[in-house]
Amino acid sequence: MGRLEGKVTIVTGAGSGIGLAVCKRYAAEGAVVVGYDLQESDQWSEVEKAAPGTLFRTGDVRDGQAQNALAAETLEQFGRIDTLVTAAGVAGGGPVHLIPEEEWDRVQDVNLKGTYLSAKAVLPTMIEQRSGSIITVASVEGLEAQDGGSTYNASKAGVVLLTKNMAIDYGRVGIRVNAICPGFIDTPLFQSVMAGEAMAEYKEKVRLQHKLARFGKPEEIAGAAFFLASDDSSFVTGQAIAVDGGFTAGKWFGVTTMMGLE
């Protein structure tokens, strides 16, 4: 029997990358998974086959009515909602003076407003249950700034503070809220951002700032999401947990390489 047996989970951004990895891990641990993404994934059938009862739906996290409908369908089908993972997100960046207003709004609406709408949709059920775990997916760039990432960084920093605020607001009714702050994870979104020869030098610099000298895997973020959904994290709330290969530990300049530590 899996360690999430019987728990009912909604995962946004379930079509690829971190969200898909979370769906697979939760399903393997016995959870009932309801995945949500803007587009269908050809891997959804594999998850459904491995974990009967799994549901996948398409929709936009910026659509509050659609998110409410998803929560209502989940409640009607399964009788409860135990966990929410908000993995839906988009990339975006540039210095402020070069970012078109509509691009700023797009990134904020998906990453920050989408997180708010997802949480808002499930909270009435969790409040009535007096239990639940909300797991937001922020970023190391929500903990510390990176050059050229103003709109993305602002959206993820907003997710971190929203997470902490919800932990304060709902802790006394039994709801835990935590953020996972991934480092640079090898997902389709990451690959699209880093594509091309022009990004090769930058990509290598970013890799080396991960103290494990590699990019992360979606499954490694899913492992942290599993912990936060499980009873092992029953006393953990209001935290922004960096799962980043040491990216935020400090700067690396190569001194230890001269000492043979490589």
Please tell me the predicted confidence (pLDDT) of residue 256: 85
Q: Please give the structure tokens belonging to residue 48.
A: 């459904």
Structural domain includes residue 256:
no
Structural domain includes residue 254:
no
Structural domain includes residue 262:
no
Structural domain includes residue 261:
no
Among 14, 102, 33, residue whose Cα is nearest residue 74 = 33
- CA distance linking residue 107 with residue 190, whole number of Å: 15
Range of the domain at 64: 8-189+216-246
Structural domain includes residue 194:
no
Sign for the pseudo-dihedral over CA of 37, 106, 221, 167: negative
Q: Please give the structure tokens belonging to residue 158.
A: 């907003």
Structural domain includes residue 135:
yes
For the chain, what is the domain count?
1
CATH of the domain at 236: 3.40.50.720
Catalytic residue check, 26 = no
CA quadruple 141, 147, 152, 156: dihedral, nearest 10: 20
- CA distance linking residue 177 with residue 163, whole number of Å: 6
- Alpha-carbon distance values, 240 to 23, 128, 222 (Å): 21, 26, 15
Q: Is residue 86 a contact partner of residue 133, using CB atoms and an 8 Å limit?
A: no
Q: Which of 26, 36, 116, 152 is an active site residue?
A: 152
Please tell me the predicted confidence (pLDDT) of residue 191: 85
Walk along the chain (262 residues) in steps of 10 and give the mean pLDDT of each run.
92 97 96 96 91 93 98 98 98 93 97 98 98 98 92 97 98 98 91 82 91 96 98 98 96 86 81
Q: Please give the structure tokens belonging to residue 33.
A: 């998974």
- CA distance linking residue 97 with residue 113, whole number of Å: 23
- Alpha-carbon distance values, 189 to 63, 139, 164 (Å): 21, 14, 26
Relative orientation angle of helices 218-229 and 17-28, to the nearest 10 degrees: 50
Structural domain includes residue 204:
no
Please tell me the predicted confidence (pLDDT) of residue 1: 67
Structural domain includes residue 201:
no
Instruction: Show contacts of 228-231: CB within 8 Å, 24+ apart.
Output: 228/133, 228/135, 228/176, 228/178, 228/180, 229/4, 229/7, 229/9, 229/26, 229/31, 229/82, 229/83, 229/85, 229/133, 229/135, 230/3, 230/4, 230/29, 231/3
Q: Is residue 59 a contact partner of residue 10, using CB atoms and an 8 Å limit?
A: no
Please tell me the predicted confidence (pLDDT) of residue 21: 97
